[in-house]
Structure 1
Amino acid sequence: MTLKLEILGTGCKKCQQLESNAKNAVENLNLTADINHITDSIEIATRGVMSTPALAINGKVVSKGKVLTPEQIQAFLQ
């Protein structure tokens, strides 16, 4: 099963950093994942996210309003 990671945010510097950290986490664990960046504010709001950046794994939002480190993301993926 391929993991599905989504970065929810407008594309600001923090959102870009979270996306980079997510890619690093996936690489560090030798996993296969689809990583998408969702920038549509309406789509973000429908998921209950009011502060960005946010991270969703397989459709479930696991973090809102902070830039997780690769190590923190790896903990969610293991």
Structure 2
Amino acid sequence: MRDVKVLGSGCKRCQETEQMVRTEAQRLGVDITIEKVTDYAEIAKFGVLSTPGVVIDGKVVHAGGIPKAADLAKWLMA
């Protein structure tokens, strides 16, 4: 089970990123728990200044803009 956090205010890009994570995980057959982190103090603890951000198992793998599906697949399988 992978622990995924999507960091951001809840904007359209953040929502799209969350949906992409869910879609890629399902496509790959990877079990995930997903949490949306919208509190800026919590986001800052990860060192992310630009959202959306993606954290997998405690490691920041992406920050700023919408990630590519291929990158999400790589991060989820790592």
TM bracket (short chain):
over 0.9
User: After superposition, where does 1:1-78 map in structure 2 within 5 Å?
Assistant: 2-78=1-77
TM-score, length of structure 2 as denominator length: 0.94
SS at match of 1:42: helix
Please report the TM-score for the alignment, with normalisation by the length of structure 1: 0.94
Runs of 4+ with deviation above 3 angstroms: none
CA contact (8 A) 2:30 2:76 kept: no
Cα RMSD, aligned residues only? 0.8
User: Structure 2: where are the runs of 5+ without partners?
Assistant: none
Contact 1:22/1:73 (8 A) holds in 2: yes
- Cα separation, 1, equivalents of 2:52 and 2:72: 13
Number of equivalent positions: 77
Distance of 2:39 and 2:50 partners within structure 1: 13
Q: Per-residue CA shift, 1:12-43, capped at 9, x if unaligned?
A: 00000000000001001011100110000000
Contact 1:24 1:70 in 2 (8 A): no
> Contact (CA 8 Å) 1:9, 1:38: kept in 2 or not?
yes
Unaligned runs of 5+ in 1: none
Do the aligned residues in 1 keep the contact of 2:3 with 2:33 (CA within 8 Å)?
Answer: yes
Residue 77 of structure 1 deviates from its aligned partner by 1.5
